[in-house]
Amino acid sequence: MAKPMVILISAIMIFLVLSSCNNNGLTPLIDSRDYVWTLDTLVNTLLITSIWGSSPVDVWAVSPVNNQLYGLWHYDGNKWIPWLKYHPQVWGVYGEALFGFSSNDVWIGGQSISDPGAGLCHWDGTKWGRYFNYNPEPDSFGVVSVHQIWGRRPDDVYAIGRMLYRPKLARNGTSRGSLLHYDGSTWKEVLRTDPGYQYHFYELSGTQKNVYLTEYRENTENRDSSLATLYELSGNHLVKIYSSTLGNGLLSTAVIDDKLYLCVGMANAKIYLYSGGKFIQQFSVNDQNFEGGLWGRNERDIFLHMDNGIAHFNGSDIKYLYKFS
């Protein structure tokens, strides 16, 4: 398990380099796939849940590991180091999410270590500070966490999380999803999902104009009928734009070149572009190893998260770039 995680980190690093290239505004040519791949390692079997970097020589990674000394990592272009082991400080979260805007403006979200709530920490270029703790009903929710962060600007940042009811207060379900917003000075709750068993947001993304959230509602009696729904945020309300049962495949999204892409399914997945209020199919992925994850620069340069490696769509076909050994 450790080796695939290592190579995936390298893939995201390469994407950071590619993202710095300029787009001349013309329709991109079929990508030549002439990348140079290198192997890196954290020398650890941690589950890395999120990576973000301001440049190829400034990359952060988090893991919700119990040993806090190995929960936060930094890469300087030469090597990875467990940040808190070499820079001791009071640390407030089991990190799950990372997002930033520059080398001195980075957010980490996760589950609070000392309180029954979610925690958000901020990097100012010098130190990490505990910035916000979120638990709207401490007597009701035993576990609250943040697992994705995204923003357009430093004063327009969103975070999604999950709140688990205490067992004796399960009511009509066991969990709820939450959406938070940061306006440059304060984090505030925007909305919550209805209570229900395994009701929560699991993806957050956005363009310069819109914010998108994906919600999962599990049906314990018939899992194939569990529902995944993609919403567009309108003010403080959610507008449904796509919905699918798990039997048709779980939903995942990616914003590429400021355009929303939707992936429906995994082994026999269809990839759609959301344009003009419609979902237009772009290509399909017929591979049992496809995990549903997408990222890239434009419609002819899209990476695919495979269970056994990393594949690539170049506008014409799909080929593996790297296979895990």
Q: Provide mean pLDDT across the span 203-221.
A: 89
- In angstroms, rounded to a whole number, what is the distance separating the alpha carbons of residues 97 and 86? 21
**pLDDT confidence band for 20 (50 / 70 / 90):** very low
- Residue 127 identity (one-letter amino acid): K
What is the reported pLDDT for 18? 40
Q: Provide mean pLDDT across the span 84-105.
A: 90
Report for 10-24, 34-48, 185-199, 252-266: range of highest mean pLDDT: 252-266
Q: Does residue 171 have a pLDDT over 90? A: no
Domains of the chain, CATH where assigned: 1-35+250-325 (no CATH), 42-248 (2.120.10.10)
Report for 4-8, 20-24, 109-113: range of highest mean pLDDT: 109-113
Predicted confidence (pLDDT) per residue in 192-208, tens digit = 887 766 678 999 999 99
Contact 301, 28 (CB under 8 A): yes
What pTM did the predictor assign? 0.87
- For residue 44 the two structure tokens come to 């650890």
Q: Does residue 112 have a pLDDT over 60? A: yes
Predicted confidence (pLDDT) per residue in 237-258, tens digit = 999 999 988 777 789 999 999 9
What is the reported pLDDT for 220? 65
Q: Does residue 1 have a pLDDT over 50? A: no
Report for 1-15, 74-88, 217-231: range of highest mean pLDDT: 74-88
The CA–CA distances, whole Å, from 273 to 41, 261, 286 equal: 35, 5, 18
Percent of the chain with pLDDT over 70: 87
Percent of the chain with pLDDT over 90: 55
Q: Does residue 21 have a pLDDT over 70? A: no
What is the reported pLDDT for 255? 97
Q: Output 174 or 24, whichever has higher pLDDT.
A: 174
What is the reported pLDDT for 28? 55
What is the reported pLDDT for 262? 97
The CA–CA distances, whole Å, from 288 to 236, 265, 285, 292, 305 equal: 38, 10, 9, 10, 12
Predicted confidence (pLDDT) per residue in 65-90, tens digit = 878 888 999 999 999 999 988 888 76
The CA–CA distances, whole Å, from 232 to 128, 202, 236, 246, 282 equal: 32, 14, 10, 20, 21
